[in-house]
Amino acid sequence: MASSRLENKNALITGGASGIGRATALRFAEEGANVAVADRNLKGAEEIAALVTKLGRKAAALAVDVSDEAQVDAMVARTVADLGGIDILVAAAGVSHARYGERNDHPVPLAEKPLADWRKVLAINLDGVFLCDRAAAREMIKAGRGGRIINISSGAAKLPLPGSGEYSVSKAGVWMLTRVMALELAAHRITVNTIGPGFIDTPMTAPVQRSEGFAKRLIERVPLGMMGEPLDVANSALFLASEDGRYYTGSILHPDGGVVMQ
């Protein structure tokens, strides 16, 4: 018998067109959820939404810049209108550096980091998660059914990455944001948790993988000796979104092959 841990639940997933967001959208649909796929890449979101529909679930594809307050509020309102409510938010949208999607930055120490680069990464990775969490929480409180908020952070929330200081700081901020919101929303039966992945095979890590020497050094730091897959993170999100994870809040899970424990 097929599992249906999220039957009749409505999920909103940002960054849903690729990588971790894509894997999570499809995994949730397999478990019975209706899914709103949000991404700045609308065409990609539409492709994933079509796959969700093929699995027999309701789907919506939404274009959003998560650093824009008005766009985030409109995204959540549209999710409620299209799916009938919002039970689960997975805030997976994020960038590794200021020109993500254009070219790969060379590592730049914070003493030499342009302020514009710092602000862009924080705007997407931290402000964006705050805006999405806030808008989803407001709808969950209004509906009175509780809910699940799951933020995608990184192992870099605990392990500093030289040359990528703005990324590390943004992800550490997501971790503390999660903890504060978990306390504030507990009375509404809304759990708030975060996932801090390690070295996962996604478009974000593709530039690193093209440098065989650098990739080899990174994998050598992983006790399990291999990269993770987006599905590893999606399964962690499924646990937190389902009844299996109902007693977790303010927690961080690390699907990272053991990196953070060192």
The larger pLDDT score, comparing residue 3 to residue 83, is at: 83
| 148 assigned to some structural domain | yes
pLDDT above 60 for 213: yes
**Residue in 100, 167, 247, 248 annotated catalytic:** 167
Residue 96: predicted pLDDT: 87
Look at residue 147 and give its three-state secondary structure.
Answer: strand
CA distance 32 to 26: 10
Biggest CA pair distance of the chain: 57
| 147 assigned to some structural domain | yes
| 5 assigned to some structural domain | no
Q: Is 248 designated active site?
A: no
pTM of the model: 0.94
- Domain with 161, as residue range(s), is 10-253
Residue 203: predicted pLDDT: 73
| 260 assigned to some structural domain | no
Rg (CA), the chain: 17
Distance (Å) of CA 219 to CA 3, 86, 258, 261: 33, 38, 11, 15
pLDDT above 60 for 29: yes
pLDDT above 70 for 214: no
CA distance 245 to 253: 11
pLDDT above 70 for 65: yes
Task: Read off the pLDDT of residues 111-122 as tens digits, 9 standing for 90 and up.
Answer: 999 999 999 999
CA distance 204 to 110: 21
The larger pLDDT score, comparing residue 147 to residue 164, is at: 147
Over pLDDT 70: what percentage of the chain?
A: 93
The larger pLDDT score, comparing residue 92 to residue 199, is at: 92
| 118 assigned to some structural domain | yes
Mean of pLDDT values over 153-157 = 95
User: What is the token pair recorded at 30?
Assistant: 């397999």
| 261 assigned to some structural domain | no
| 2 assigned to some structural domain | no
Structural domain total, the chain: 1
Q: What CATH number has the domain bearing residue 59?
A: 3.40.50.720
pLDDT above 80 for 4: yes
Task: Read off the pLDDT of residues 126-147 as tens digits, 9 standing for 90 and up.
Answer: 999 999 999 999 999 999 999 9
CA distance 194 to 150: 5
Torsion of CA 258, 124, 234, 169, to 10 degrees: 20
CA distance 5 to 234: 14
Residue 1 pLDDT grade (very low, low, confident, very high; cuts 50, 70, 90): very low
| 3 assigned to some structural domain | no
Residue 216 pLDDT grade (very low, low, confident, very high; cuts 50, 70, 90): confident
